[in-house]
């Protein structure tokens, strides 16, 4: 075989470790909850969470990059008040019959050795818009039970729900939503 035929094979072999450097993590739905805080008529703040979340994360520490792909069951909203939960699932707000899933896809941005933000796209109520999450903490360790790496983070963002077509009582400060996400993901 000529030395020119070997060159593409050697280049391809050198690229394989670089392409395989990203690890995949499965989001643990039992330890991941997007929480929300929303104004109630301007007189108080209601807090709750979405109880059903799935998705994946990739992490390439050497390249200092990664991604997230998260799906939230919109009907799993739980504000601690059954009547309010029903109202939030209705066409006035989340319209879960028409829009059953809230999606977030983004790219991890590092500062030093750890991710500090996620630049992504939120799809809520059928509308997709940019949303950056600030990562307040990010830690990886060996899970004491599963004996494989688990990564956890705490992140937050704020947006106006009327920007996503959820406009009932959503103008100005009444439409502001603060989202805090606690997430844990197991390496696959």
The answer to whether the beta carbons of residues 52 and 72 sit under 8 Å apart is: yes
Range of the domain at 48: 22-187
> Helix H segments across the chain?
3-19, 82-89
Task: Determine the 3-state secondary structure of 33 from DSSP.
Answer: strand
Q: Compute the distance between CA of residue 38 and CA of residue 161 in angstroms, rounded to an integer.
A: 10
Q: Pairing relation of β-strands 33-40 and 176-187? A: antiparallel
Domain assignment of residue 11, yes or no: no
Domain assignment of residue 6, yes or no: no
Q: What is the pLDDT of residues 118-154, one digit of tens each?
A: 999 999 999 999 999 999 999 999 999 999 999 999 9
- State pTM to two decimals: 0.85
The answer to whether the beta carbons of residues 152 and 183 sit under 8 Å apart is: yes
Q: What share of the chain is helix, strand, coil (3-state, %, to 5)?
A: 20, 55, 25
Q: What is the pLDDT of residues 65-122, one digit of tens each?
A: 999 999 999 999 999 999 999 999 999 899 999 999 999 999 999 999 999 999 999 9
CATH number for the domain harbouring residue 175? 2.40.128.110
Domain assignment of residue 17, yes or no: no
Domain assignment of residue 29, yes or no: yes
The Cα angle at residue 128 between residues 43 and 58, in degrees rounded to 5: 105
Domain assignment of residue 168, yes or no: yes
The answer to whether the beta carbons of residues 34 and 53 sit under 8 Å apart is: yes
Domain assignment of residue 14, yes or no: no
Domain assignment of residue 161, yes or no: yes
Domain assignment of residue 40, yes or no: yes
> With 70 as the cut, is the pLDDT of residue 19 above it?
no
Q: How many structural domains are present in the chain?
A: 1
């Amino acid at each position: 075989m000529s030395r020119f035929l070997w060159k593409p094979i050697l280049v391809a072999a050198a690229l394989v470790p670089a392409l395989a450097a990203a690890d995949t993590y499965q989001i643990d739905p039992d330890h991941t909850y997007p929480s929300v805080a929303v104004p109630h008529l301007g007189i108080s703040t209601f807090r709750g969470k979405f109880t059903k979340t799935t998705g994946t994360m990739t992490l390439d520490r050497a390249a200092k990059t990664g991604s997230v792909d998260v799906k939230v069951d919109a009907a799993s909203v739980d504000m601690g008040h059954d009547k309010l939960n029903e109202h939030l699932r209705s066409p006035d707000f989340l319209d879960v019959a028409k829009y059953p899933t809230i999606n977030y896809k983004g790219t991890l941005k590092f500062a030093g050795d750890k991710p500090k933000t996620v630049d992504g796209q939120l799809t809520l109520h059928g509308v997709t818009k940019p949303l950056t999450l600030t990562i307040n903490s990010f830690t990886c360790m060996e899970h004491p039970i599963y004996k494989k790496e688990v990564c956890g983070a705490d992140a937050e963002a704020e947006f106006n729900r009327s920007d996503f077509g959820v406009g009932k009582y959503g103008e100005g400060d009444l439409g502001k939503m603060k989202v805090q996400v606690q997430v844990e993901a197991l390496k696959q």
